[in-house]
Chains A and B, each alone.
Chain A
Amino acid sequence: MTFLRERGLGISVVVALAITAVFALWISPRDIEQGEAVRLLYLHVPTIWIAFLAFFVTALSSVLWLVPRTRSTTWDLLAGASAEVGVVFTGITLVVGSLWGRPTWGTYWVWDARLTTTAILFFLYLGYLALRRTGSTAEERGKRCAIAALIAFADVPIVHFSVTWWQTLHQSGTVFNNKISVQIHGSMAFTLLWSVASFTLFYVYLVMRRLQLAELEEGLEERELEIAITERVRAEQVVPV
């Protein structure tokens, strides 16, 4: 992506997020039941959505890397980049969700299905990130990480299912519940949708930049390897006088 287009995207992201903040914190009304606390949902819902999107992208790129015909280092680097962004957003989800829980439920934490699954999700991918830092060769790292990513991704619905069975306190999804009818209306719905959209754009930008960084780091490793080899060759070519 050209520098100007990247700049353009970056600026759009900042503008979109600024609009989100204005709507979330000022223009949208307080909720009848939750009061001002609902404003945290305009943060909390997008961040967990982005986290799921991010980990889905990680899983998808992992598959693309594993399939020999589509294998390319880019997929491996993308998987790592997206996972890192996903972990950041999962962490924010947990903190913001916790701050939302205090005024609405009266407590910072409950062991309900969603919170618990999100916490497990956080640790699953933290482990994945730790694994990414161990690989010796790109090929070796790619295989281990791809499989680890897929196991993590498959495990999340299982964890969620088990924990839902175990406890439920969290309200059923405001937008994505079984009845598939939007339960919030008007400017609140707009704020939420705009927020989700602007954060999605933010995600795209972040992953792009993180991928760029990953490619630079790969380049650095290759460069350092070349330098080391060159120096070794030079040292061995010294002719005794």
Chain B
Amino acid sequence: MEHVWGYVIAGYVVAAVGLTTYVGWLFRRTRRLRRLLRGDADG
């Protein structure tokens, strides 16, 4: 079957996008919560 590379790249892109989105969400939410809790502690 031709264009097999297409499927391979699609697979890697999906995995990369999925995982970076998840990691990104983790980082962002962690940062927001830390800021929130630190703010409460000061105020």
What residues of chain A have their CB less than 8 Å away from a CB belonging to chain B? 21, 25, 35-37, 39-40, 43-44, 47, 88, 91-92, 95-96, 99-100, 102-103, 106, 202, 206, 209-210, 212-213, 216-217, 219-220, 223, 227
Contact A43–B1 (Cβ < 8 Å): no
Contacts of B27 in A (CB 8 A): 209
Contact A206–B15 (Cβ < 8 Å): no
Contacts of B26 in A (CB 8 A): 206, 209-210, 213
Contact B12–A25 (Cβ < 8 Å): yes
Chain A residue nearest to B34 in the complex (CB)? A216
Of residues 3 to 25 in B, which have CB atoms within 8 Å of A's CB atoms? 4-5, 7-8, 10-12, 14-15, 18-19, 22-23
Contact A96–B33 (Cβ < 8 Å): no
Contacts of B29 in A (CB 8 A): 213
SS class, residues of chain B in contact with chain A: helix
| Total count of chain B residues near the partner, CB < 8 A | 23
Could you write out 24 A-B pairs with CB less than 8 Å apart? A36-B4, A36-B5, A37-B8, A39-B8, A40-B8, A43-B12, A44-B11, A91-B18, A95-B11, A95-B15, A95-B18, A99-B7, A99-B11, A99-B14, A103-B4, A106-B1, A206-B26, A209-B26, A216-B30, A216-B34, A217-B33, A219-B33, A219-B37, A223-B40
Q: A25, A99, A100, A202: which has the most chain B beta carbons within 10 Å?
A: A99
How distant is A54 from chain B, measured CB to nearest CB, in Å?
Answer: 13
Contact A206–B23 (Cβ < 8 Å): yes
How distant is B19 from chain A, measured CB to nearest CB, in Å?
Answer: 7
Contacts of B40 in A (CB 8 A): 223, 227
Closest 9 CB pairs of A and B: A216-B33, A99-B11, A96-B11, A36-B4, A103-B4, A40-B11, A103-B1, A99-B7, A39-B8
Contact A40–B7 (Cβ < 8 Å): yes
Report the separation of the CA atoms of residues A146 and B37 in the bound assembly, to the nearest whole angstrom: 28
Report the separation of the CA atoms of residues A96 and B17 in the bound assembly, to the nearest whole angstrom: 12
Contact B33–A103 (Cβ < 8 Å): no
Report the separation of the CA atoms of residues A103 and B10 in the bound assembly, to the nearest whole angstrom: 12
Q: Give the contacting residue for B14; candidates A21, A37, A96, A212; CB below 8 A.
A: A96
Asked, given contacts A206-B23, A212-B30, A220-B37, whether A35 binds B4 with beta carbons under 8 Å apart, the answer is yes
Report the separation of the CA atoms of residues A226 and B23 in the bound assembly, to the nearest whole angstrom: 31
